[in-house]
Every structure is written in C-alpha cells, then in structure tokens.
Structure 1
Amino acid sequence: MTAAFEPLLVPASLFVAALSLLVVAQCYRGYARNGSRPLLFLGLGVALVTLPSLLLYPVSVAFAVPAYVDVAVLAQLLGLLSLLYAFTRA
C-alpha cells in the first residue's frame, strides 16, 4: 500500500468496526427480544468476520510482532460457518 492511501486506512477501518458493532448490537437486541437463534448466530458471524482482522492489524503494527494471520483467518472461517448456520439451520 502506498503512503498516499494510509491516512484513509484508519478512518475507514474505524467506520467498518463501528458499523459492524452496530449490526452486532441490533442482532443481539433481536435475539434478546424474540429469542431468535438465527439472529444470535448472525451477530456472532458478523462479529467474527469483521472485527478480528480490524483489531489484530493495529496490535501487530504497534508492538512490531508478526501479523496473526492464522488467528484472523480462523476467526473469519468460524464467522462464515456461523453465518451459514444462521441462514440454513438455526
């Protein structure tokens, strides 16, 4: 990534994180109000797909440690499985 686009990366990442937290909160409210299991797994899936990569990247940059790509990919895989379960079986 070039230096010209890096200032846009932080606000865009914060916007994506805030939007995904809003979706997760709405899913939790729907689950708590109606007891709807699909909404619970939908919120879990959205959280696992979006948040780990957004949270692990700044940690790896700030502390100069190698990126935890395996952890992020595993979390995203579990998130996609949770979404699939929410749409088909829950």
Structure 2
Amino acid sequence: MSAAIHSVQALTTSPEGLIFAFAAVVAAAGLFVASLAYRGYRRNESRPMLYLAVGIGFLTAVPAGINYGLSSLTTASDATILLTVTIAHLVGVLAVLYALTRA
C-alpha cells in the first residue's frame, strides 16, 4: 500500500480527520464557486457578482481557515475561535444579502 493511501486512510478513520477532510472539501468547493462569481464580476463588471463572490468565500473558505489556522497557530480558546467563525459567517450572509437586494 502506498504511503499516500495509508495517510488518507489514517486521516479518515478518526472523527477529527473526517471533520478536517469534509471542511477541506467544503472550503475547496466554496473557493471554486467564489472564483466563478468573481470571473462573472470581471467579465460583466457586475457589482452583485463581486459581493456574491465575497459572500461565498466568507461562508465557506474563511471559516475553515480561521478554525484550523487559529487552533493550530495560536492558543485561542474555543469560544474565541467560534466567535471569529460566526463573524465570518455574518459577513458572508450580509454580502450575499447585499448582492441579491441592493447592489
């Protein structure tokens, strides 16, 4: 068995590894969708698409980066990490709302 397959099996057998794997997939998919919205903004100069791109990024990729970045690089408490993730979600929802209603 190759080392890469063994590493993936080890990562997905623990609950923490499975959560990390799903968070990574969500972040990657979110970045892909946000990049498509940003391309739409660049192509059509549409401000709603820009806000949609920002909102999707803040709803998917930013929280994953905050969660895993703060927990591994700092000694921030779980409450602090949860607060920052919730703020990122709020920014994302407000950006999507703005894109759909006022931009």
1:24 corresponds to which of 15, 34, 37: 34
State the shift of 1:7 in Å: 2.3
* RMSD, aligned α-carbons: 1.7
**Gap regions ≥5 residues in structure 1:** none
State the shift of 1:10 in Å: 1.7
The reply to whether residue 38 of structure 1 matches residue 68 of structure 2 is no
Distance in 2 (alpha carbons) for counterparts of 1:21 and 1:52: 9
**TM-score, normalised to structure 1's length?**
0.84
State the shift of 1:74 in Å: 1.5
Choose between structure 1 and 2: higher helix proportion: 2
Distance in 2 (alpha carbons) for counterparts of 1:18 and 1:4: 21
Seq. identity, %: 34
Q: Is the 8 A contact 2:63 2:85 kept in 1?
A: yes
Distance in 2 (alpha carbons) for counterparts of 1:4 and 1:79: 30
User: Counterparts of 1:1-90 in structure 2 under 5 Å?
Assistant: 4-63=14-73, 65=75, 66-67=77-78, 68-90=81-103
Residue 99 of structure 2: SS of its match in structure 1?
helix
Distance in 1 (alpha carbons) for counterparts of 2:96 and 2:24: 23
**Gap regions ≥5 residues in structure 2:** 1-12
Distance in 2 (alpha carbons) for counterparts of 1:81 and 1:64: 28
Count the aligned residue pairs.
88
